[in-house]
Amino acid sequence: MDKKAVYAGTFYPENPDELNNLLNSYKQDVKIDYKSKAVIVPHAGYIYSGHAAMAGFQHLEPAENIFIIAPSHHESFNNIALPEYTFFETPLGNLEVNNKLIADIAEKFPCIVADEVFDKEHSIEVQLPFIQNLFIPQRQSAADFMKSLKKIGKRIRIIPVLVGNCDYRLISDLISTYWEGSSFVISSDLSHYYPIQECRQIDTYTATIIETGKIEFLQPQQACGMVGIKGLVDFANNNDCSMIRAEMYNSGDISNEKDKVVGYGSWFLYTDSRNEFIERYYSKYVIEMARQSIIASINQEEFIPRGIPTVLTQYGASFVTLKLKGELRGCIGSVYPTKPLILDIIDNAKNAAFQDPRFEPLTIEELENLEVSVSILSSIERISFKDERDLLSKIYPYGVIIAERNKRAVYLPVVWEQLPDREIFLNSLKEKAGLPPNYFSGTLEAYKFSAIYITEE
């Protein structure tokens, strides 16, 4: 039995050519080659959420099985629901359901298997044309068809999953169980029907939760697909992965409606840290923005960066280090994230050049030989220790902050290259804080962090 399309003609066009043309218009020139096995994407009418959804889907890795995990807006039930349908129809054709895999899920997880809970649900249906447009070309030669099958392995089949009254750990376990050979689409809009400024505040907070993995702070009013989001982020936390933002805006940005708007965002799972992602894909951009900030300040001009990658709009902390002929010429940074990372880098570059109290302001003549490097910090973690020996055993190879009342100092991880001995490292850090090198007390605090170090080629 086939599941008929219900929202063609309302949420998205029902004419195949019009639908494909609209989806193609949402595609961006993706400058990185990373493909992810899991994305979070919105599910509203395409005129509102289509750009954000495509920004996420363009990072999705095609797989033999694509799970679409979405909230139920119309039916109430416990745990998850699975369909008996054989195909889901859209104007672009049929997508086959992997009924064998659904039977396997039904044996392992608490669920109901019922078609009726899917009949009026849009949160799955609106995702299907994106999959068809990106991974199942409508018109292709026999040779191209065989190439696409070879690339994917076999034909794509979907596993629609509706989420009811459910513990997010069920979704995390579901993802873990079927991770091999599958990709995962988490379907969710963000905040609903707040004034536009309040929406932006709530969605920014939600984005920070997703990107830092602090899912205990995520509440239902922040996202209709909260359980699915928490399940994926929990999986990311458990597997040392991170969530990278692809896009975020709200319906007011499209319609100019300011009173009651809905937020939309998309993310993809990256199998390492966010900072490693930035280092891998945006090192040149980061260095160029730091250098341009310094040049603009010398010319007494305001610097406004262009074409900012979305990942650099996430909050972050950085240090900018300047050298001339191998000698330090300035170093200023932030320990805690208080602003979008790109702004933090731009401000710290300018401050390192002109506000470091150890040096005179940089001159235009020095620009030609100036070496710029940027350290992007991880989150800060407090170090618990019982005595100095215990502290010494826990500080390598991290960046370290020590604090004693109003005295504090920080060393970046790169300082270990100059001070490889732990005791010398710590004693030097104490002196930097204005403490005696042999100082120790029960009130001394210590924190650690890691950092990626980006230098000019």
Give, for all 457 residues of the chain, the pLDDT tens digit: 899 999 999 999 999 999 999 999 999 988 788 999 999 999 999 999 999 999 999 999 999 999 999 999 999 999 999 999 999 999 999 999 999 999 999 999 999 999 999 999 999 999 999 999 999 865 544 455 455 555 544 589 999 999 999 999 999 999 999 999 999 999 999 999 999 999 999 999 999 999 999 999 999 999 999 999 999 999 999 999 999 999 999 999 999 889 999 999 999 999 999 999 999 999 999 999 999 999 999 999 989 888 899 999 989 999 999 999 999 999 999 999 999 999 999 999 999 999 999 999 999 999 999 999 999 999 999 999 999 999 999 999 999 999 999 999 999 999 999 999 999 999 999 999 999 999 999 999 999 999 999 998 7
| Confidence at residue 137, expressed as pLDDT on a 0 to 100 scale | 66
Amino acid in position 51: H
Q: 382 forms bridges with which residues in the sheet?
A: 447
Per-domain boundaries in the chain: 2-272, 276-377, 381-452
CA torsion, ordered 270, 274, 276, 279, to nearest 10 deg: 120
Do the domains 2-272 and 276-377 sit in the same CATH topology, yes or no? no
Domain 2-272 fold: Protocatechuate 4,5-dioxygenase; Chain B (3.40.830)
- At a CB cut-off of 8 Å and minimum separation 6, what does 61 contact? 35, 36, 37, 183
| Confidence at residue 165, expressed as pLDDT on a 0 to 100 scale | 96
| Confidence at residue 307, expressed as pLDDT on a 0 to 100 scale | 85
Question: What are the b/e assignments for 164-196, b being 16+ CB within 10 Å?
Answer: bebebebbbbbbeebeeebbbbbbbbbbbebeb
Domain 276-377 fold: Glycoprotein, Type 4 Pilin (3.30.700)
Compute the C-alpha angle 340/346/350, nearest 5°.
Answer: 145
Q: Count the Cβ atoms, other than its own, within 10 Å of residue 398.
A: 20
| Confidence at residue 421, expressed as pLDDT on a 0 to 100 scale | 97
Distance CA 297, CA 304 (A): 12
What does the block give as tokens for 29? Answer: 């020139």
Domain 381-452 fold: Dna Ligase; domain 1 (3.30.1490)
| Confidence at residue 118, expressed as pLDDT on a 0 to 100 scale | 97
